[in-house]
Chain A
Amino acid sequence: MEISLKKINDGSLYVKASGKLDIDTSAEYGMKIKDELDDIKELILDFGDITYVASIGLRVLLELYQQMSKQGSIKLINVQGPVLNVLKMTGFNKFLSIS
């Protein structure tokens, strides 16, 4: 999985990754983001190239949400259909800002 992180302005982190957020990749994805979260007020996760999210991926999303809720906000953008289905199924759409 390729992950690119970009700090925009001050306090925003834009993360774009491609591929599946599964058992192989989720941990790496989460770690890389958490490493950059200091002083971040807004976390933007671009899911445009994410084809698939497994439950382990959802855990990572929940952890990120829990951290960001202390220091700012988190939002998912460009979420693809199948992924959106999973998010809706598990009620993650209720608290995550998704577009």
Chain B
Amino acid sequence: MLFNTVKSKIILISALMLVILSVLLTSFAYIYMQSGKTLLLTGFSYHISNFAEEINKDIISIENNAKDLALQGEMFNHIDKNKNMALFTTVNIFNNYPNSLGGGIWFEPNIIDPVKRLYCIYVYRNKNNEVVPDEQFETEEYDYLNKNWYKEIFPYVSKEDNVEWSRPYYEKEGSNTLMVTAGAGIYDNGKLIGISTVDWEISSIIRSISKMKPTENSFALFGDKTHNTIIASTDPYFENSSLLGKPLSTLPWYNENLKQITYFTYHGKKYIPYVKNLDNGMLLIICIPKQELFRVLIQHVVIVFALFMLAGIFISILLYTGLKKYIDKPIEKLTELAHEIGEGNLNTEIKIEKPLEFAQLARTFNIMAHDIRNITKERQSIESELSLAKDIQASSLPNVFPPFPDRREFDIYAGMEPAKEVGGDFYDFYFIDDKNFMFLIADVSGKGVPAALFMMTTKTLINYIAQSGLSPKEMIETINRKICENNKQGFFITMFVGIVNAETGEFTFINCGHNPPLIKHDDSGYKYLDVEPNIVLGAFGDADFTVAEGTLVPGDTICVYTDGITEAINISGEQFGEDRLFETINIFKDYDVKTTQLGIKAKVKEFAQGVAQSDDMTMLVFKYNGAVKNNNGDSSEEMYQLGNEKIQLYKNIATKENYKDFSSWLNKVIEVWSLSNDTTDRLRLVSEELYTNIFSYAYPEKEGLVEVGLMREANALTCVFRDWGIPYNPLERPDPDVTLPPETRDIGGLGIYIVKNTVDEISYEYREGSNILKMTIFCNI
């Protein structure tokens, strides 16, 4: 994970950049070093060659001087032997060669003059740089024929144009300087008759050589290879003057093959030798310590390398911070804000101006958030419309119970819970004439708004047709035909319709492809009503429907439901199913219709374990109580025919006139449950007082409902009185003082006082717009 973040990538890229840069720099430095070395070596070589070339020019000039002189000697001998003329010409020649110190023409004994053994013409350059003749060398004292330079040159100038060089020597007689002499032969008809000489002062060359220090510890050697003599040396391990004239091999590093050697080691240091052989057989060698040669180069490379490296690091850091600032930070910011949007804060606006790509992305985010905001608004508006639709649909189904408080022949309770906001399920019930009560439950295929719209139309249609006096068969076939006529969308409807004659209990029912209803016919509990269903409504306009008939006896209860109940799914994907419904409904077989209906739904929800409802859940429970004899007087005792359920419910308008009716119901319950005298007395006392209170005080100037529920348990009787009148908690009223004398007594409040002192437990609650007083009488039933 750590290496998948942009930040880590940035670090990686920066580091990689640095590495690549380092490698490049190192390679560059290496190449630079190599080429630097080559360049440096070439440079030194060139420099030294130039220097050698300068010397060579001097040498050539000296040699030419010597040759010119030799020619002059030959002409002198051959033509006129005029010495003055010869001197003049010689001075002129020397004026052409400014590097020559002096020189002359020397003849073998008696060549020019048979009387005069020694004959020479000599000129030299004086301190004023003027070339002047000097005739002191023609004397026997000097005897040039015995001078070393003469002996060294004369025997070797064997042929014309050949210039021979003497060893370096100190001229003691003349300028007292170190010099060498170049000489050429003078011939007369092929016979060597003398030599010309030119003196070359080499002190200036030695001075130049000692300055020839390309590096601090370089040293040079200037020698005469021909005569194997050292002329000058700056070798730091020898005294320079002591070496003059000594053989070259005096220097321990010197050897013949030095020119082929890259470097030699001398006193622990490596030296690179540059060897230049001059034209006159002289030798110039410059030795440069290798370390010094490359020190500067290395310094350069190190400095350049370091600078580049620093620049590299700097660039990498810039790259890192730049990337971080322009990529990482915006990403972080985007992520953070996207989170906020995700958490539902749709008003979040992302503000990024730079870099442009992220600004673009931020704009996209903002547009997205804006769209989501709009979509959410739209959805909220749709949801509120759907919620409204749900209310309209719910209000279209009868939802006030009991729906006919004055009709006690039956109890009915029903409810629909849509899966989405609106559903395709519905139920309905109404009297289709004075006696016949019709109830139905139906399920339109499909869900949502289209199904709900279809359901509303169908419900209205059924209501209209049902009240038109047709027989059940005619009615259902008409309904089917009408649905088919209007059914362009291919909806179909499963429906169960029951029609009960409230007086006789005759029961006619039609099952149009609907789930089998459950019916309780005796004490053994609910069973599935086994009737072969008809085809669903809306499929074929001319379908034939079979109507089933039976008779209900008081206490018979029918439960109809839609597949939303049986097909409710739990977490494991298991369906609630008909078997479980069968078991569940029988838990409630002794309870009233409302408890049964709500109880089953509660059990289904418990089963679903919070899994969202996938289909509408609708259930209707109808209980037949039997005919009510609608006459007056004492016979009203017989009005109620009750089953032996654990719960008995009474609901009616609370009036003084209806009190008899209530008494009659209460007596019937007492009889059916075989309550003891004591319990009966207490129950009657309480019921009388509370009923009186409700019709007297709960509904001032109007009539309202009273609901009385009785529930028996093994050792207690629970009695609940409920009214929807003005909120009033009788338990808050202070007890009257029953010890006061009758003259001063206030007669009010005695009733509730009696109630409180008669029951064992009493509690009051104001719920759903109703006063609910719940009492318990402990007794054995």
Please report A residues at the B interface, Cβ cutoff 8 Å. Answer: 20, 22-24, 52, 54-56, 58-59, 62, 65-66, 69, 82, 85-86, 89-91, 94-95
Apart from A55-B692, A55-B753, A90-B738, 10 more pairs, CB < 8 Å: A23-B659, A54-B689, A54-B692, A62-B747, A65-B742, A66-B743, A85-B681, A89-B753, A90-B753, A95-B741
Of the candidates B681, B738, B743, B751, which one forms a contact with A82 in the assembled complex, judged by CB atoms under 8 Å apart? B681
Chain A residues with CB under 8 A of B354 = none
Chain A residues with CB under 8 A of B742 = 62, 65-66, 69, 95
Given A59-B747, A62-B747, the answer on whether A23 and B754 have CB atoms closer than 8 Å is no
Q: Is the Cβ of B750 less than 8 Å from the Cβ of A22?
A: no
CB<8 Å pairs between A and B, sample of 10: A54-B685, A54-B751, A55-B692, A55-B753, A62-B745, A66-B742, A69-B743, A82-B681, A90-B754, A94-B738
Of the candidates B681, B688, B739, which one forms a contact with A23 in the assembled complex, judged by CB atoms under 8 Å apart? B688
Chain B residues with CB under 8 A of A20 = 688
Q: Is the Cβ of B688 less than 8 Å from the Cβ of A22?
A: yes
Chain A residues with CB under 8 A of B684 = 52
**Nearest 9 pairs between A and B by C-beta?**
A91-B738, A55-B751, A82-B681, A55-B750, A54-B688, A95-B742, A23-B692, A89-B757, A59-B747
Describe A's contact surface by its main secondary structure: helix
Describe B's contact surface by its main secondary structure: helix
Chain B residues with CB under 8 A of A94 = 738-739
Nearest B residue to A59 by beta-carbon distance? Answer: B747
Chain A residues with CB under 8 A of B689 = 54-55
The answer, yes or no, to whether B379 is at the interface (CB within 8 Å) is no
Q: Is the Cβ of A89 less than 8 Å from the Cβ of B688?
A: no
Chain A residues with CB under 8 A of B743 = 66, 69
Chain A residues with CB under 8 A of B81 = none
Q: Is the Cβ of A52 less than 8 Å from the Cβ of B741?
A: no
Of the candidates B656, B691, B741, B750, which one forms a contact with A58 in the assembled complex, judged by CB atoms under 8 Å apart? B750
Q: Is the Cβ of B692 less than 8 Å from the Cβ of A86?
A: no
Nearest A residue to B736 by beta-carbon distance? Answer: A90
For the complex formed, measure the closest distance between the CB of B642 and the CB atoms of chain A, giving whole angstroms: 22
Kindly state the separation between the CA atoms of A62 and B656 in the bound complex, as whole angstroms: 22
Nearest A residue to B688 by beta-carbon distance? Answer: A54
Within 8 A of A (CB), among B664-704: 681, 684-685, 688-689, 691-692
The answer, yes or no, to whether B660 is at the interface (CB within 8 Å) is yes
For the complex formed, measure the closest distance between the CB of B660 and the CB atoms of chain A, giving whole angstroms: 7
Nearest A residue to B682 by beta-carbon distance? Answer: A82
Chain A residues with CB under 8 A of B660 = 24
For the complex formed, measure the closest distance between the CB of B758 and the CB atoms of chain A, giving whole angstroms: 8
Chain B residues with CB under 8 A of A89 = 738, 753-754, 757-758
Total inter-chain residue pairs, C-beta < 8 Å: 61
Interface centre among A23, A62, A95 (most CB of B within 10 A): A23
Nearest A residue to B691 by beta-carbon distance? Answer: A23
Interface string of B644-667 (1 = CB under 8 A from A): 000000000000100110000000
Interface centre among A20, A59, A90 (most CB of B within 10 A): A90
Within 8 A of A (CB), among B610-650: none
Chain B residues with CB under 8 A of A58 = 747, 750
For the complex formed, measure the closest distance between the CB of A79 and the CB atoms of chain B, giving whole angstroms: 14
Nearest A residue to B660 by beta-carbon distance? Answer: A24
Kindly state the separation between the CA atoms of A20 and B667 in the bound complex, as whole angstroms: 14
Chain A residues with CB under 8 A of B739 = 91, 94
Kindly state the separation between the CA atoms of A62 and B741 in the bound complex, as whole angstroms: 11
Nearest A residue to B677 by beta-carbon distance? Answer: A82
Q: Is the Cβ of A56 less than 8 Å from the Cβ of B692?
A: yes
Q: Is the Cβ of A86 less than 8 Å from the Cβ of B738?
A: no
Chain A residues with CB under 8 A of B754 = 54-55, 86, 89-90
Chain B residues with CB under 8 A of A55 = 689, 692, 750-751, 753-754
Chain A residues with CB under 8 A of B738 = 89-91, 94
For the complex formed, measure the closest distance between the CB of B197 and the CB atoms of chain A, giving whole angstroms: 175
For the complex formed, measure the closest distance between the CB of A12 and the CB atoms of chain B, giving whole angstroms: 21
Interface string of B516-534 (1 = CB under 8 A from A): 0000000000000000000
For the complex formed, measure the closest distance between the CB of B463 and the CB atoms of chain A, giving whole angstroms: 41
Chain A residues with CB under 8 A of B758 = 89
Kindly state the separation between the CA atoms of A18 and B643 in the bound complex, as whole angstroms: 31
Chain A residues with CB under 8 A of B659 = 23-24
Kindly state the separation between the CA atoms of A65 and B656 in the bound complex, as whole angstroms: 26
Within 8 A of A (CB), among B733-762: 738-743, 745, 747, 750-751, 753-754, 757-758
Kindly state the separation between the CA atoms of A29 and B382 in the bound complex, as whole angstroms: 67
Interface centre among B685, B691, B758 (most CB of A within 10 A): B685
Kindly state the separation between the CA atoms of A85 and B754 in the bound complex, as whole angstroms: 10
Given A59-B747, A89-B754, A95-B742, the answer on whether A52 and B656 have CB atoms closer than 8 Å is no
Within 8 A of A (CB), among B699-751: 738-743, 745, 747, 750-751
Interface centre among A58, A65, A85 (most CB of B within 10 A): A85
Kindly state the separation between the CA atoms of A89 and B152 in the bound complex, as whole angstroms: 175
Chain B residues with CB under 8 A of A95 = 741-742
Given A54-B689, A66-B743, A90-B738, the answer on whether A23 and B750 have CB atoms closer than 8 Å is no
Kindly state the separation between the CA atoms of A23 and B662 in the bound complex, as whole angstroms: 13
Kindly state the separation between the CA atoms of A70 and B194 in the bound complex, as whole angstroms: 202
Kindly state the separation between the CA atoms of A33 and B747 in the bound complex, as whole angstroms: 19
Kindly state the separation between the CA atoms of A64 and B747 in the bound complex, as whole angstroms: 13
Chain B residues with CB under 8 A of A82 = 681, 685
Kindly state the separation between the CA atoms of A36 and B758 in the bound complex, as whole angstroms: 34
Chain A residues with CB under 8 A of B741 = 95
Kindly state the separation between the CA atoms of A66 and B69 in the bound complex, as whole angstroms: 189
For the complex formed, measure the closest distance between the CB of B54 and the CB atoms of chain A, giving whole angstroms: 153
For the complex formed, measure the closest distance between the CB of A29 and the CB atoms of chain B, giving whole angstroms: 15
Nearest B residue to A94 by beta-carbon distance? Answer: B739
Kindly state the separation between the CA atoms of A86 and B738 in the bound complex, as whole angstroms: 12
Chain B residues with CB under 8 A of A65 = 742
Interface centre among B740, B750, B754 (most CB of A within 10 A): B750
